[in-house]
């Protein structure tokens, strides 16, 4: 699995490179700034890009803008954002294009290596991985519409937005798969979202609603 890394801190960039290689990823490029990222993504067309949002020269949104631009040339390019802060605006921009895997993880909340590697693989395979803190801020922006949901439905919605499957939600909440399906159908009905059996499309529909 081929990876492009964009990270301005040399120690972290080298650490990510060594870590991914240890888990049999092929790091085809590791860049340190925004101007270098877009050409790397277009040239190598990786299976997944692991990028920081704030890169030189301005440390604003160079990483994200390069990834979005690359998706016009490489449609559906999977992108996993590693950020130091919760920035819903960046999540919203990333989710504008619903093709390909997407993820948004916070650097200081990645609990262990296995969690990170799993996230990279899920995004590369077309899935979605969202940090609960990011999801929490998106949920907080929609209090009036979400007031129609029960406490359990809000829990299920939050886990859906993180990219969890029905089985994973059931295990997390200690309920059955049928109960999860019932809650999801109720959520989609109350929020006016189109139903979907595809986990990734379902997650994107939820995130698109929360980002609206």
Helix (H, G, I), strand (E, B) or coil at 190: helix
Q: Provide block-wise average pLDDT over 10 residues at a time, the chain (212 residues).
A: 96 95 97 95 96 91 88 91 77 69 85 89 90 76 75 89 87 94 88 69 67 59
Over its C-alpha atoms, the chain yields an Rg (Å, rounded) of 17
The beta-carbon contacts of 11-20 under 8 Å, at least 24 apart in sequence, are 12/107, 16/50, 19/113, 19/116, 19/117, 20/50, 20/117, 20/120
CA nearest neighbour of 139 among 165, 163, 159: 159
User: Residue 83 and residue 166: Cα distance in Å, rounded?
Assistant: 27
Architecture of domain 151-211: Orthogonal Bundle (1.10)
Which residue(s) pair with 31 in the sheet? Answer: 6
Contact 139, 157 (CB under 8 A): yes
Amino acid 211: pLDDT: 62
pTM reported for the whole predicted model: 0.78
Amino acid 100: pLDDT: 85
Outline which parts of the chain fall under CATH 1.10.10.10: 151-211
Contact 69, 93 (CB under 8 A): no
CATH of 2-141, one of 3.40.50.2300, 3.40.50.970, 3.30.70.360, 1.10.760.10: 3.40.50.2300
């Amino acid at each position: 699995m081929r990876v492009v890394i964009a990270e301005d801190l040399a120690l972290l960039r080298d650490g990510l490179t060594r870590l991914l290689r240890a888990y049999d990823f092929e790091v085809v490029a590791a860049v340190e700034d925004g101007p270098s990222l877009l050409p790397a993504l277009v040239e190598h067309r990786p299976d997944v890009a692991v990028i920081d949002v704030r890169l030189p020269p301005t440390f604003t949104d160079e990483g994200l803008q390069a990834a979005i631009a690359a998706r016009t040339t490489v449609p559906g390019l999977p992108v996993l954002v590693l950020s130091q802060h919760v920035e819903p605006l960046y999540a919203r921009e990333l989710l504008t294009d619903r093709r390909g895997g997407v993820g948004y993880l916070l650097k200081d909340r990645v609990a262990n290596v296995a969690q990170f590697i799993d996230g990279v693989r899920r995004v590369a395979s077309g899935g979605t991985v969202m940090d609960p803190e990011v999801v929490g801020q998106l949920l907080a922006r929609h209090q009036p519409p979400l007031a129609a949901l029960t406490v359990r439905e809000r829990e299920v919605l939050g886990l859906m937005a993180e990219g969890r499957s029905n089985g994973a939600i059931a295990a997390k909440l200690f309920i059955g798969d049928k109960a999860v399906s019932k809650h999801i159908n109720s959520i989609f009905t109350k929020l006016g979202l189109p139903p979907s059996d595809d986990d990734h499309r379902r997650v994107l529909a939820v995130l698109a609603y929360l980002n609206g």
